A and B are shown apart, each in its own frame.
Chain A
Amino acid sequence: MNLEPTEEQRQIVATVRRFVREEIVPLEAKLDPDASELPPEDFARLTAQVRAMGFWGLDIPGEYGGAGVDLVTRTLMAVEMSQHRAGLYVPCYGVFGTAGLAQLYEATAAQKERYLMPMLRGEKRGFFGLTEPSGGSDPARAIRTRAVKDGSDWVINGSKIFISGADRAHFGLVFARTDADKGRGGITCFIVDTDMKGFHVRRVVHTLRSSSYATELQFEDLRVPEGNVLGEIGKGFAIANDRLTRQRIPYAAACIGVAVKAQAMAIDYAKQRETFGAPLATRQAVQWMIVDNEIDIQTSLWLTLAAAHKADRGEPYRMEAGMAKLVATEAGGRVVDRAMQIHGGYGMTKDLPFERWYREMRIRRVGEGPNEVQRHVIARDLLGGGLR
């Protein structure tokens, strides 16, 4: 398998790298170290630049106006786009556009008109409401939010937790149990407008990722029209599985990008910082940390690119995407940790981006499916069906 980038991909990478270094990094010098948004005027200016480059909407299918790039190119771009302080969770502060909720691409024409298209135009925001206080890794069993048919409406009662962006959203996807006896087959996905009576954002949930918060939601007799069922009744988990698998690859790539940047900073520092009359780079302890970093980076990169190549060839790639997510998130954490160690006291300060990367990288092992669940899914693929 040839994983070397093409000439066109090399040019794209160089363009994105220049954009990050010349446009994003200088702005960050003026922002709070925990900022997750650009000032509106900078956001508008840079979004226009990205549109002019033809890169806006990287994760939006071409037929919906997105850039329509293949997954290998997307991966290479993601590695570059994350190489700044906020890059792990908000690469380039979102000026390349976001795909929003992948499930909406499977919506009816009327639902797309009302929710998907305004979301892609940036006029509406959505949230993804799956995890509940009773659990998130096994939602099929953990979901206790109930939806009961009443005339032509569904009435939803229950709660959700760790939901990002619900307090600022216009609508959201809420997974609720419509059949108590059917386990996974008893879950239905509803599109819920946040101005509906009975929709409550009860509290902010603070996390390690102090640049952004999650929320806890409560639904009290929330009445949703039948037309807001997304997909089929009882098939909430069947929606957009392929798109969700696809998202794990840029998720892994962002971890690699941060690791690449941390490693570059560690190498620079090790060469210039002297202790006991010689640069840190001459010390075997530091050399080995840098070597181990590079092994972690290269391992993650090749695994992630291999998954992306397989997806682009149209072959099943769920297992490879899970491996990429798993390896890149764990390797990324180790690389940032070693880079901090090499930087000593400065590595712990908010003057440098490491402390933010350190906190946020820890979340990546849990987000987008905990790594233990990834291992569980990979085991099922390796060992065959019948395993639960």
Chain B
Amino acid sequence: MSIRMTKPWIELTPAAMATLPGQLGVYQLADAEGRVVYIGAAGGRTLFGLRSELERALAERPAGATRFRFEVNQQYTTRHLELLMLHVADHGSLPVVNATDPPPRLGRLSPL
């Protein structure tokens, strides 16, 4: 099982928003060069789950985000932390937007 998110990127456009589920899960935002700039989670307090979160991303375009990918996942809390730890393991730091408000006491992974 791949623990990294490997789904294809989707352009961050109004048309794409209409196809999104209202379920809970995790997502990544990337800039035009394909760098992951933010890893987020749509938790149990969001009004329309992933759709709400990604519509906000479309409006704000943090760090120039132009594309996204997502996973529907009830375990959004632990999956979100896992993706953040994997990013640190692969790149040495958090995505640029997450780095401005890092989670307290993020763990360390050294995946094979």
In-complex Cβ contact of B75 among A168, A206, A215 (8 A): A206
Cα of A325 to Cα of B74 in the assembled complex, Å:
29
Say whether A33 contacts B44, CB under 8 Å: yes
- The size of the chain A interface, using a CB distance under 8 A, is 23
Please choose the segment from A14-22, A196-204, A247-255, A257-265 that sits at the chain B interface, where 4 or more of its residues have CB less than 8 A away: A196-204
Which residues from A are CB-within-8-Å of B45?
Answer: 32-33
Which residues from B are CB-within-8-Å of A203?
Answer: 3, 109, 111
Binding site for A on B (CB under 8 A): 3, 43-45, 74-79, 81-82, 85, 104-112
Which residues from B are CB-within-8-Å of A204?
Answer: 3, 78, 81-82, 85, 109
Cα of A34 to Cα of B73 in the assembled complex, Å:
13
Shortest 10 CB-CB contacts between residues of A and residues of B? A167-B107, A33-B44, A350-B44, A210-B75, A213-B78, A32-B43, A204-B82, A168-B107, A200-B110, A34-B77
Say whether A210 contacts B107, CB under 8 Å: no
Report the minimal beta-carbon distance from B49 to chain A, rounded to whole angstroms: 11
For A210, give the chain B residue with the smallest CB separation. B75
**Which residues 175-204 of A sit at the B interface, judged by CB distance below 8 A?**
194, 200-204
For the complex with contacts A36-B77, A201-B110, 14 further pairs of A-B residues with Cβ separation under 8 Å are A32-B43, A32-B77, A34-B43, A167-B85, A194-B108, A202-B110, A204-B82, A206-B79, A210-B74, A210-B75, A210-B77, A210-B78, A211-B78, A350-B44
Which residues from A are CB-within-8-Å of B43?
Answer: 32-34
With known contacts A203-B109, A206-B75, A213–B44 Cβ distance under 8 A = no
Report the minimal beta-carbon distance from A347 to chain B, rounded to whole angstroms: 15
Which residues from A are CB-within-8-Å of B75?
Answer: 206, 210
A–B complex contacts, Cβ < 8 Å, 24 sampled: A32-B45, A33-B43, A33-B44, A36-B77, A167-B85, A167-B107, A168-B105, A194-B108, A200-B110, A201-B109, A202-B111, A203-B109, A204-B78, A204-B81, A204-B82, A206-B75, A206-B78, A206-B79, A210-B74, A210-B78, A211-B78, A212-B78, A213-B82, A215-B107
Which residues from B are CB-within-8-Å of A206?
Answer: 75, 78-79, 82
Say whether B108 contacts A167, CB under 8 Å: yes
Report the minimal beta-carbon distance from A357 to chain B, rounded to whole angstroms: 14
Q: Does A386 contact B (CB under 8 A)?
A: no
